[in-house]
Amino acid sequence: MTFADLNFILRLIPIFLLIYYLAPAKVRPWLLLVGSLGFYYVNEPMLIIVMAAGAVLNFLLALINFKKRNKIILAIAIILDVLWLGAFKASAPLHLGLLIPLGLSYFVFKLISYQVDLFKGKVEKLSFVNYLVYLFMFPQVIAGPIARYDYVISNKYWAKREGSRRERFGQILCQLEEGLKLFAIGLFFKVMVADHIAVLWNELKTIGYESISTPLAWIGAYSYSLNLYFDFWGYSLMAAGLGIMLGFEFIINFDQPYFAASISDFYRKWHSTLGTWFRDYIYFPLGGNRKGKLRTVFNLIIVWAVTGIWHGSTLNFLIWAGVLCLIIIFEKLLLSKAPKLFKVVGHLNVWLIIPVTWVIFAIHSLKDLRLYLLRMFPVINVGVAVNAKDFRYSLMEYGVYLVLGLIFVMPFVTNLYRKHKDNVFVVLMIFVMFWVSIFSLSNSAGNPFMYLRF
């Protein structure tokens, strides 16, 4: 069950929110924990035991570290977590036959973050319930965003609040209104933009990369770039919206990445909770950029190697990460010395290179990847039975979704929303977007989120 499941949207969420807010404030963390475990159980009935065992073991180590900080305990916790994740990740390439529990990567990243933050004294009070809610909370357990522990304990509605009952009721309604709007927008991005564009991308595989024309290969690359963005941004908005409905703060995971000033900037704005996790728990501890250029380059290589391996076990992920790492090093060491040139080239890099890197990310077979890239850059003719008009058919069929994607990718749309989100016309538009998405979901099987097994 994902967030784009009709039962989740039309039944579970309204019922859960009703119970959640009817219950006294101190019971709410428990309710969220029970709801989250139930949600995870529905998705992963067997492997929930693996996750629970990992959580309990980590909490025992955290208990020791909370009483008396000990680097060795921290190291043991991190090593165990990395080995745990590594064993499951290595299962596919080594044919170990282990099934990866849903959302394990995000879960382990949260565990490591918790252990490090606790060691640094950022966790003031140890609470098993809050700890479990942090790990299992249903808006984040499947595919992030990777919040930090302080996100959970900052919940506004877990402590008795001041003000009259009427005022508190008004505040809850405001929170629900805000969260629901974000959820509806995210749902639209996912169902109406990402899922429809995804069909175009899948069709290229159906046709066979050797038979697509060069214009279609480029349309495919941009389509996949939009598809991935709206799929994951849509999911993140739904997760953030659910979080707000439950009393948490808005959590930013995407911040107009396609309008970033450079590729380094792109990865600060794309899946930023993952980026900041890598920065805070790998790049900075390695020394970041404070220990000279050579060390900076080394640190970047380590971070990107881990990023590549984390995303998948096939070679294309290492190539993808390697290309990005090289460009980022180039931007940091050379291009940054010519700011005016950087301003132009940085944007061009994002618009031209990022779609190519997404193709590398998407195609796992190196043979197919070579074919696709040669159709994009036809220096060698590998085309077989190419229909030169194929891109026109695709544009005719999917043009409307691509245009929608291109409009929503523009920063001005988000800015307009921020400024006028309470305007009646904007509210009515979101209302229509919500029901259009439900209409589409009611009449299709849906498309699971791409990052589910990452």
Partner 1 sequence: MNPKKYLFLILLFVSIVGLSITGLYSRTGIYKEFFKNYLTTPAASVVFKAAAAGVFPWSNPVSEKEPEKPKPVTHTKPTEKITIKPFIKVDDEYFNDALFIGDSRMAGLAKYCEALDERATFYAKKSLTIYDIRDESWIPIDPTKPNSKTETLWEALADKQFSKIYIMVGINEIGIGDENVFRDAYEEVVSRLHSAQPKAIVYITSIMHVTAEKSEKDELYNNPNIDVRNDAIKTLADSVDNFYLNLNEAIDDADGGLNAEWTGDGVHLKGSCYEPWHEYLLSHGIKVK
Name the site residues for partner 1 (rule: CB under 8 A): 6-7, 10-11, 14, 166, 169-170, 173-174, 176-177, 180-181, 184, 202, 205-208, 210-212, 384-387, 390, 393, 396-397, 399-400, 422, 424, 427-428, 430-431, 434-435, 438-439, 441-443
> Cβ of residue 432: shortest distance to partner 1, in angstroms?
10
Token pair of 441 as six digits: 């979901």
Dihedral sign, Cα of residue 373, residue 379, residue 385, residue 389: positive
211/414 with CB nearer partner 1: 211
Which of residues 83 and 413 has its CB atom nearest to partner 1 in the complex? Answer: 413
Q: Which of 210, 234, 197, 213 is nearest to 358 (CA)?
A: 197
First to last CA, the chain: 16
Residue pair 218/373 in contact (Cβ under 8 Å)? The answer is no
Nearer to partner 1 (CB atom), residue 140 or residue 437: 437
**Closest separation between CB of residue 454 and partner 1, Å?**
23
Choice between 11 and 419, CB closer to partner 1: 11
Q: Between residues 173 and 344, which has the closer beta carbon with respect to partner 1? A: 173
Query: Residue 443 Cβ, how far from partner 1 at the closest point, in Å?
Result: 5
Which pair of tokens denotes residue 193? 């933009």
Query: Minimum CB separation from partner 1 for residue 218, in Å?
Result: 17
Q: Cβ 6 to partner 1, closest distance in Å?
A: 5
Q: At what angle do helices 366-376 and 315-333 cross, to 10 degrees?
A: 50
Q: Residue 211 or residue 276: which is nearer to partner 1 going by CB?
A: 211
Q: What are phi and psi of 215, to 5 degrees?
A: -60, -40
Distance of CA 253 to the CA centre of its chain: 7
Give whichever of 212 and 324 is closer to partner 1, judged by the CB atom: 212
CB closer to partner 1 out of 26 and 420: 420
Distance between CA atoms of residues 376 and 371, nearest Å: 9
Considering the complex, what minimum distance in angstroms separates the CB of residue 290 from partner 1? Answer: 47
Provide the minimum distance between the beta carbon of 430 and partner 1 in the complex, in angstroms, as a whole number.
6
Residue 58 CB partners (closer than 8 Å, separation 6+): 77, 80, 81, 111, 114, 115
Q: How far is Cα 263 from Cα 267, in angstroms, rounded to an integer? A: 6
CB of 173 to partner 1, least distance (A): 5
Among 269, 231, 265, which residue's Cα sits nearest to residue 253? 269
Separation between Cα atoms, residue 351 and residue 445, nearest integer Å? 32
Q: How far apart are CA 143 and CA 235, in angstroms?
A: 8
